[in-house]
Structure 1
């Protein structure tokens, strides 16, 4: 699993998608790199000014994620990509449980990392994309103490015109692909239900 420093940056990245929801109409008109830049600045200020985010309270962070982060994420695409080819064989109930447990895993993993977010700033690099592109890469660096942390976003433009994230790259490691290799081992050995149970057990631990 990724170390705490990397997850601290990832936590900042996820929460960077939360602060701008009251301006959703404006966000829909923004380019993906401008959206990432504005929300990143907003959330870092929020974390600095609200110490309750540093308590590691999974329930509080979970509520924040459900109400604010998830609208900016294509979570079904993330989960299906992490599960891999076996996703197509899963029943609707299994898919629902996989999404719920995968989300809980991510929340639990970076809840503690939030306490490490303090003086970081996010620098968005120039984006290489054509005006009509609907699948783009936004590259950023999280800068603070120590070396800069590479943090890239994969976003897609939905039919409604919104930009949604479906993958993250932290220091050259794509989040979905990292979990795919772990999940594949469990599925190949014991099946989808076993993966669901393993995730549920980890989330309760």
Structure 2
């Protein structure tokens, strides 16, 4: 289950740019446009990360708190995990689905911790939104500039109904590659070989190795 580390670094830095460190999403979610949301969250978060050396150094307690309190509320993580697992998600039991979400989250958190050290002088430019006001799913296209070449970073968002209604991210694209689809191809190999429990075991093993400081 190898992954291009450069791709992951850019992808998780993108998630960092999409998370709010200053204000809860619910304050704005009811009537905030999706591109305005991404712009606000990007500016707030990049500024906060640049100011917090412990986050950039990968302090796992701070990273976990960041993910739990700020990033997860901005994601439809169940949809993200289901899409990464693919058709077999529907055959998984509720317990298996929860374990998949838990292990997938741990995998992203560890990668996120390593990627934060790459945040320095980046800024995010939001491109004009191509969507109808009535659309329930949109793509917000951005460009991250800083050291090196500009990075294309696009977000897929859905408008969720009911309590906490607003826009939530369920996929992101780095330089033309969608994060969920990248994981899906890897997860499919495990599922085809050993089933859902095999995928859970592989993710758990990788997370344990990462925690021990091993390269996987």
Provide the TM-score with structure 2 as the length reference: 0.90
**Residue 178 of structure 1 aligns with which residue?**
182
Provide the TM-score with structure 1 as the length reference: 0.95
Secondary structure of 1:153's counterpart equals strand
**Residue 13 of structure 2 aligns with which residue?**
12
Quick one: which of 46, 54, 61 aligns to 1:44?
A: 46
Quick one: which of 134, 159, 162 aligns to 2:161?
A: 159
Distance 1:165 1:87 in 2: 19
**Could you tell which deviates more after superposition, 158-167 or 89-98?**
158-167
Distance 1:101 1:153 in 2: 23
CA contact (8 A) 2:24 2:70 kept: no
Distance 1:110 1:121 in 2: 18
Quick one: which of 50, 61, 64 aligns to 2:63?
A: 61
Secondary structure of 1:28's counterpart equals coil
Give the total of aligned pairs: 204
Quick one: which of 193, 199, 205 aligns to 2:203?
A: 199
Secondary structure of 1:177's counterpart equals helix
CA contact (8 A) 1:8 1:117 kept: no
Task: Report the Cα offset of residue 20 of structure 1.
Answer: 4.5
Distance 2:57 2:122 in 1: 18
Distance 2:20 2:9 in 1: 16
Secondary structure of 1:200's counterpart equals helix
Secondary structure of 2:169's counterpart equals strand
Task: Report the Cα offset of residue 204 of structure 1.
Answer: 1.3
Distance 1:113 1:50 in 2: 14
Task: Report the Cα offset of residue 3 of structure 1.
Answer: 2.9
Aligned-CA RMSD value: 1.3
Secondary structure of 2:149's counterpart equals coil
Structure 1 residues without counterparts, runs of 5 or longer:
none
- 1:58-137 alignment, distance < 5 Å: 58-137=60-139
